[in-house]
Amino acid sequence: MVPFLDLQAQMAEIRADVDAALKRVLDSCRFVLGPEVEAFENEFSEFSQCKNSIAVNSGTSALHLALLSLGIGPGDEVVTVSMTFVATVAAIRYTGATPVFVDVEPGRYTMDPSQLEAAITTKTKAIIPVHLYGQAADMDPILEVAAKHKIPVIEDAAQAHGALYKGKAVGSMGDLGCFSFYPGKNLGACGEGGLVTTNNEDLAATLRSLRDWGQNKRYHHQLKGYNYRMDAFQGAILRIKLRHLRNWTQARQKHAARYRDLLKDSPITLPTEFAVGGHVYHIFAVRHPQRDALQKHLGERGVHSGLHYPFPVHTLEAHADLGYEKGQFPVSEKLAAEELSLPMFAELKDEQLIEVQKAIECWSYDE
């Protein structure tokens, strides 16, 4: 059997350190924010080449607060992609602003910069590219359009911890970067977690206030804030995992290279890597027009796979009120119909990669 993701293998490697960290927090009784979370923020800032990190309780909260820190609310528009996890869009809607979608690029699967200009109106208050599957969006042309119209950029880096774009870390190029530490992400907590990065000191101060009830001093509530604080257990565990992240990412990249070699003659389309080292392979996304049949076949052979994501957000019932129709974003819709996520995690063994190859090799499909 080849699991899609094996968190127990990772935990086995770090268990002693995790136990010690949990004990440290229990002994301190500092359960919310506090020294562990602060230390994690500092270490994450260094990792992501950013001046400020603000830890919160989920990636969704990170996106919500990033938008609020820019003053975004009802009547505003935020341009993003429909080919993303629903949270990107939900966070925009929490603020009362309206999401405006553009399609993704055919090989890269991220925001198509050539469609950006046409989506911008006088109401556009932010642009959110999503670094989908672990590969950075084509940031230079996106930042160029944003600068021309003086619109801030929020990077949704929830799937791309440590990914690079022309040597720059994701989360450090836009005005704000948003990360998720959901357990299955490349850097995952043992529970929920998220973080906002920014080089802007004013935005950082606003974010720190907003995550903790809008106070800058105890009981001095200046802003309508939230309880979005990170808990200390997660901070302490994330500090341990962050030290392993570069190695774990290298292992993912090695597995991706091996998959490419093993599957080069197979009928499936492999992901395109736009820069060496730039893709951190949160998801190894392959494609085939008969995706559902392929997934069923792999499942029968004990190879577990995933779908990211079978329905672009503009086709979801929850967001039907935005008024989009099927067919409006053909690249996203085709990708959603054809994408299959193969097993990908640092601890994958070569035998398992070969098992995946063999399972694909013996799949017979209609030409």
Q: Which residues bind ligand PLP (CB under 6 A)?
A: 58-60, 84-85, 87-88, 130, 156, 158-159, 180, 182, 194
Determine phi and psi for 118, rounding to 5 degrees: -65, -20
Pairing of strands 194-198, 52-56: antiparallel
Q: Which CB sits closer to ligand PLP, 60 or 124?
A: 60
Residue type for position 324: Y
Query: Looking at the chain, which runs of residues are DSSP E strands?
Result: 52-56, 77-81, 98-102, 124-128, 154-156, 164-165, 168-169, 176-180, 194-198, 215-217, 220-221, 284-287, 339-342
Output the smallest distance, CB 228 to ligand PLP, in A: 11
Contact, 213 vs 225, CB < 8 A? yes
Output the smallest distance, CB 184 to ligand PLP, in A: 8
Output the smallest distance, CB 354 to ligand PLP, in A: 29
Q: What is the largest CA-CA distance in the chain?
A: 68
Q: Which CB sits closer to ligand PLP, 54 or 130?
A: 130
Q: Which CB sits closer to ligand PLP, 41 or 359?
A: 41
Q: Which CB sits closer to ligand PLP, 60 or 295?
A: 60
Residue nearest to ligand PLP (CB): 59
Q: Return the SS3 of 135.
A: strand
Output the smallest distance, CB 342 to ligand PLP, in A: 17
Q: Which CB sits closer to ligand PLP, 41 or 156?
A: 156
Output the smallest distance, CB 245 to ligand PLP, in A: 16
Please confirm whether the linkage preceding 228 is cis (ω < 30° from 0). Answer: no
Dist CA 192 CA 234 (whole Å): 8
Dist CA 228 CA 188 (whole Å): 17
Output the smallest distance, CB 222 to ligand PLP, in A: 26
- CB atoms closer than 10 angstroms to residue 83: 28
Q: Which CB sits closer to ligand PLP, 182 or 363?
A: 182
Q: Which CB sits closer to ligand PLP, 83 or 360?
A: 83
Measuring CA to CA, which residue among 179, 107, 162 is closest to residue 138? 107
CA 281 from centroid of its chain's CA atoms: 11
Output the smallest distance, CB 118 to ligand PLP, in A: 23
